[in-house]
Chains A and B, each alone.
Chain A
Amino acid sequence: MAQVQVQLTNVTKRFVTKTLGDIVAVDDFNFEVYEGECFSILGPSGCGKTTALRMIAGFEDLTEGEIHLGGRPVSSSRKNLYVPPEERDLGMVFQAFAVWPHKNVFENVAYPLRIKKVQRAEIERRVKEALHHTSLTGLEKTYPSDLSGGQQQRIALARSIVTNPKVMLLDEPLSNLDPHLRETMRFELKELQSKFGFTIIFVTHDQSEAMAISDRMLVADMGKIMQIDTPENLYNRPINRFVHSFLGESTFLNVVIKDGKVYAKGDMEHPLDLEAPPNAESEMIMATRPNAIELTADKGYQTHVQTRIFLTDRTEYVVPIGNQTLKVQTPHRITFAQGESCSVRFVEPMWYPVEDPEAEKERQRRQLI
C-alpha cells in the first residue's frame, strides 16, 4: 500500500452565524489520501467541500479533529496546533484563478520561488520549465488581463507546481472554463500529475468530471461523508438514495413489500417481477438506472408507453407504473410507439429506506447561508 499523504481524523467544522443559526459545515470527516492518488471530494453546493479543503490548506481552524500531512500533524483542535498555510508545502488552485493582475506571467509563477529566496538562475530555469509544462512558453511578459480564462488557469497551475509540492489542492478549478476547455485541462492536469507525481485533492460538484479524473472519490451531503470508493463502485453500488441520484442518471420507484412480493405503490394487484431484498421493510425505494431496465413486449410488469423521446444516442420512454412514472432508456433498435403496450423488468436494482422529508429542508437551509 502506498504511503498516506493526507489524513483527516474526526474533523468537524462548525460556523456560528448570527442570522441563520449555527451550521456544521463539515461533520466528522475521516479519510486518507495516498501518495500519487487523485482523490475527489464531490457533493452539492453547501455540502462542505470548500470548507474541508480550506482546513487542509490551513485557512480554517478545526472545531474538532486532527489533520496530518505526510505523517506530520498540521492541525489539531485538541493540541491547539495550527501550522500556517505557508508552512504546509502545498499547491493550491482556486476556482476564480487568483492570478495576480499586477504581476506578469513570469512574476506570477516566480513568486513562490522568490519567497523561498531561490537563486536567480534557478528561478529562471524552474519557471521556464513550469511554463513549458503548462503550454505558456512565450507569454512570460504578458499580464493576466490580456489572457483567456484557460490561460489564466494555466498560470495558476504553473504557479502551484513550480515549487514541486507533494500535495495539490484544487477547488473547482475548471468550473469557470467552457466545456471543451474543461476537458482539455482535465487531461493536462492528469498529465502533470503523472510527470510530477503529486497527490491531488480535487473538489467539484460535477460528477462526470470527478468520475473522469479520480482514482477514488468522496461523496458528501450536508457536511457528512456519504461514501468513499472508486468511481466504478460508487456508480454500481451507491450506498444510499442520495449517492445513487448524484452519480449518473437514476430512476426511483416507491415500492410496498408484502408477503415477499414487491408492488409499485398505487398498484397492489400486479407484483413486479422481482425478489424482495433480504431484511426488507414494508415500504422502500427501489433505485435503478434508466438504461438498466429491460423494455420488452411481454416479459415483466405490463404497462404502456406514455411518452417517447428520441435522444441522440438512445431513446427515452416514460412509462406509468402504479401511481408513478418510470424513466427507461433503450438503444434505438428497440422501438415502441407512443401508447403501445409494453413490459418492464428490473435487473439488480438497489433498495433504500424511505427518505426523511426533513433532509431536503436542511439541504436548502445550508445553501442559503
Chain B
Amino acid sequence: MINLRRNKDLAAVEGRRIGLDNVMTALAFVLLLVIVVIPISMIIYNAFFHEGKFTFNLIVEQLTRSTTLSSMWNTIKIGGLVTLFGTIMGVFYAWLLGRSNIPGKKLMRSLFTIPYMFPPFLGAMAWDLLLNGRSGYLNRWMMQTFNLSSAPLNINTIWGIVFVEVSYYFPFVFMQVVSALERMDPTLEESARIAGAKQGTVIRTITLPLVVPAISAGALLILISSLAHFGVPAILGFSQGIFTLPTRIFAVISRSGGSFEGIRQAAALSILLVVVVALALLLQRKVLSSGGYDIIKGKSMRPTLINLRGARIPLFILALVTLAVIVMVPLIMIFLVGLVRAYGLPLIPANFTLANYTRILTTSGTLDSIKNSLILAISAGIISMTLGTLIAYVVQKIKPRGTGVLEILSVLPYSIPGTVLAIGVILAWSGSLGINLYNTLWIILVAYIARYLSFSMKTSSAALLQVHPSLEEAARTCGATHTESLKDITLPLIRPAMISGFFLIFLPAMREVTTSVLLYGPYTRTLGVQIYSLRDAGMMPQAAALGSVAIVLIIVINAIVNAITADRKGV
C-alpha cells in the first residue's frame, strides 16, 4: 500500500512548527464553515427556533396550508415524471447513436449535447411564446387555420413543464450512457450472441443491465436538478397558479417584500424542499442499485454496430426532428420574437426591427446585468476552482482528522437546491451576524461559490488521485521544499483539470437564475434575472432579444472552451 499520509511527514521534515499542510487544512475548514455551514445552520435555526425556543410550529403551519401541500406534490410529480421520461429518452438516444448504424453518428452525438448547454428557462420562454394557452403563436395559428374555438395545446400545465424540463435534462442520462457504452467491452455482448441470444435479447439481458449504473447516475442528476429547478416552472407555471416548492419560496419572498416573516416562512419551506430531495435520493438508491461494474474493454476493439435495416432512415429522421423541436424551434422563436416590433404582432418580415437589440444594448440596466454576470461567473469560477482544489488537496493528500466531514461539507451544497442556498445566504449575510451584504454582488458571489464548489472539488479530486505521491516525493529528494514541489510538480499536473473545472462553473454561472433571482438588488441584476424581469414586466421582445444575446454568448464561449481544452496535457 502506498502511504498517502507521507506528505504529512514530509511537511514535518521542513522543520517548521506550522507547516504549509496545517495552514491549508485550517483554511479549508474555515472556508467551508463560512460558505456552507453558516448558511445551512441559519436556515435550520430560523425554521425551528422562535424567539430562542425550539418549535415545530413553523413547519407544521406550512404543512397545514393547501398551497404548500400542492407545491410539494407538484415538485414530486414533476421531478418523477421528468426523471422517468428523461431517462427513457436519454437511454434510447444513447443506444441509437452509440450502438446502431444510424448515419452521421459523430456529428449527431455532439449535436445531442447542445440541449445540455441551452438555458432551460429560455427554452421555457420560447415554448410559452409558441404554445401559451391564450396567446401562443402556434396556438393562434392553429386556431385560425383549423377554426378552433380554444387553444389546442397548452404549455402552461404540469405536462408542459415536464416536456420542457425533459428536453434539457435528458442529456444527463444520454451522456453517461453513451460513455458507458463506449467503454463497454463489445465481447460481453458478442459472447451472448454466440450463446444463442438474438440481438433484442442481448440488449435486454446483457447491455441494459450492464449500463444500469450509468443510467442510475444520470437519472439521479436529472432528479436532483428537476426537484430544485426554478426557471421552467416559474415561467410556465405562475400564470396558471402552478407552483413547485422552489417557485413557492420565491413567491413567498417577493410577496413579503423581504420582510423577516416572509424569510422565516421561506426557511420553513426550504426545510421541506430539502426533505423532499433527501427522500428522493433515498428512494432512488433503493430502486436503482448504483456501483459500477468492471466493463472496461481490453485491446482496441470496435463494437459491432446493430444494423437497423429498414428502420435506419425513419429513426434518423426521428432523431433530427427531436433535435429540431428541442433546439432549433426554441432558438428560432427567441431570435424572431427578439426582432418583432411589438409583442403579439405576426412574425413576418414587415414587423421586424433591430430596435429591441439596440435598446437592450444601450440601456445601462441591461448592460450592467451582462457585466454583473461576467464578473460573477469569472470570480465564482476562479474562487471556487481554487477553493475546490485546495479542499481536494487536503482531502486526497493531507487527509487530516475529519477528512470525511470536509468531503461531505464540500459536496453537500450540490444536493441542496439553489433556492434553499439563497435563503440561507440571505439569513446569514444580511446583518443578523453583523455582516450585511444584502443588495451587493458579494452576497450573490458567496451563494455561487457555495453552489459550484462541488464541481471543481470533483474534477480536482479526480486529477489529484492520479498524481502519484512518488512524483512529489521525487521532487523532494531533488531538494525541493514542500511548497516548491507543490508549485512545480502537482499544480502543473492538475492544471488542465483546474481549467476545465473553471469552465464547468463559469458556464452555468453565466446563465444562473435560481439563486440570483432571490438575491439581486436594484443594481445587481444578473443576465438571467434581467431577462426574467423584462419578461415579467411584459417587455417580451426585449427579453427575447436579450435571451438571444445570452445564447450567442454561451455558444461562443463554449466553442472557445472546446478549442482550449481539446489539446490538454497532464492528468
Interface positions of A (Cβ within 8 A of B): 57-59, 84-88, 90-92, 94-96, 98, 100-102, 111-112, 115-116, 145, 156, 159-160, 163, 176
Chain A residues lying within 8 Å of B209, measured Cβ to Cβ, are: 102
B198 within 8 A of A: yes
Contact (A96, B201) CB under 8 Å given A116-B196, A156-B191: no
Q: Which of A92, A96, A160, A176 contacts B297 (CB 8 A)?
A: A96
The answer to whether A86 touches B210 (Cβ under 8 A) is no
The answer to whether A98 touches B299 (Cβ under 8 A) is no
Chain A residues lying within 8 Å of B188, measured Cβ to Cβ, are: 98, 100
Tell me the minimal C-beta distance from A208 to chain B in angstroms.
21
Q: Which of B190, B192, B210, B298 contacts A101 (CB 8 A)?
A: B210
Chain B residues lying within 8 Å of A176, measured Cβ to Cβ, are: 298
Instruction: Name the CB-closest residue of B to A116.
Output: B196
**Distance between Cα atoms of A116 and B201 in the complex (Å):** 12
B197 within 8 A of A: yes
Chain A residues lying within 8 Å of B295, measured Cβ to Cβ, are: 101
The answer to whether B191 touches A159 (Cβ under 8 A) is yes
Tell me the minimal C-beta distance from A47 to chain B in angstroms.
14
Chain B interfacial residues counted at CB < 8 A: 26
Q: Which of B49-71 contact A (CB under 8 A)?
A: none
The answer to whether A101 touches B294 (Cβ under 8 A) is yes
Chain B residues lying within 8 Å of A112, measured Cβ to Cβ, are: 195-196
Tell me the minimal C-beta distance from B210 to chain A in angstroms.
6
B6 within 8 A of A: no
**Distance between Cα atoms of A159 and B206 in the complex (Å):** 15
The answer to whether B210 touches A100 (Cβ under 8 A) is yes
**Distance between Cα atoms of A159 and B190 in the complex (Å):** 13
B379 within 8 A of A: no
Contact (A163, B196) CB under 8 Å given A96-B185, A98-B185, A102-B210: yes
Tell me the minimal C-beta distance from B428 to chain A in angstroms.
46
Tell me the minimal C-beta distance from A165 to chain B in angstroms.
9
Q: Which of B298-327 contact A (CB under 8 A)?
A: 298-299, 304
Chain B residues lying within 8 Å of A102, measured Cβ to Cβ, are: 209-210, 212, 293
B5 within 8 A of A: no
**Distance between Cα atoms of A64 and B210 in the complex (Å):** 36
Q: Which of A59, A87, A111, A116 contacts B190 (CB 8 A)?
A: A59
The answer to whether B298 touches A85 (Cβ under 8 A) is no
Tell me the minimal C-beta distance from B163 to chain A in angstroms.
33
Could you give 18 example pairs across A and B, Cβ below 8 Å? Answer: A59-B190, A85-B193, A85-B194, A86-B197, A86-B198, A90-B194, A92-B191, A92-B194, A98-B191, A100-B206, A102-B212, A111-B195, A111-B205, A115-B201, A145-B293, A159-B191, A163-B195, A163-B196
B372 within 8 A of A: no
Instruction: Name the CB-closest residue of B to A144.
Output: B294
B187 within 8 A of A: yes
List of 10 A-B pairs having minimum Cβ-Cβ separation, nearest first: A112-B195, A96-B298, A98-B187, A101-B293, A94-B187, A85-B193, A92-B194, A115-B196, A98-B191, A102-B209
Chain B residues lying within 8 Å of A156, measured Cβ to Cβ, are: 191
**Distance between Cα atoms of A84 and B187 in the complex (Å):** 15
The answer to whether A159 touches B210 (Cβ under 8 A) is no
The answer to whether A96 touches B210 (Cβ under 8 A) is no
**Distance between Cα atoms of A96 and B197 in the complex (Å):** 20
Q: Which of B316-358 contact A (CB under 8 A)?
A: none
Tell me the minimal C-beta distance from A175 to chain B in angstroms.
9
Contact (A159, B195) CB under 8 Å given A95-B298, A95-B299, A96-B299: yes
Tell me the minimal C-beta distance from A93 to chain B in angstroms.
8
Chain A residues lying within 8 Å of B205, measured Cβ to Cβ, are: 111
Instruction: Name the CB-closest residue of A to B206.
Output: A100
**Distance between Cα atoms of A57 and B194 in the complex (Å):** 8
Q: Which of B185, B195, B293 contacts A86 (CB 8 A)?
A: B195
The answer to whether B194 touches A160 (Cβ under 8 A) is yes
Q: A84-B199, A115-B195 are in contact. List 11 more A-B contacts (CB 8 A).
A: A59-B190, A59-B193, A85-B190, A86-B193, A86-B194, A94-B190, A96-B297, A101-B295, A111-B195, A112-B195, A176-B298
**Distance between Cα atoms of A96 and B296 in the complex (Å):** 10
**Distance between Cα atoms of A154 and B209 in the complex (Å):** 23
Instruction: Name the CB-closest residue of B to A95.
Output: B298
**Distance between Cα atoms of A116 and B192 in the complex (Å):** 12
Chain A residues lying within 8 Å of B299, measured Cβ to Cβ, are: 95-96
Tell me the minimal C-beta distance from A355 to chain B in angstroms.
28
Tell me the minimal C-beta distance from A58 to chain B in angstroms.
8
Which of B198, B209, B299 is most buried by chain A, counting CB atoms within 10 A of its CB? Answer: B299
**Distance between Cα atoms of A70 and B332 in the complex (Å):** 62
**Distance between Cα atoms of A146 and B70 in the complex (Å):** 49
**Distance between Cα atoms of A163 and B197 in the complex (Å):** 13
Tell me the minimal C-beta distance from B556 to chain A in angstroms.
29
Chain B residues lying within 8 Å of A87, measured Cβ to Cβ, are: 196
**Distance between Cα atoms of A86 and B294 in the complex (Å):** 25
Instruction: Name the CB-closest residue of B to A165.
Output: B194
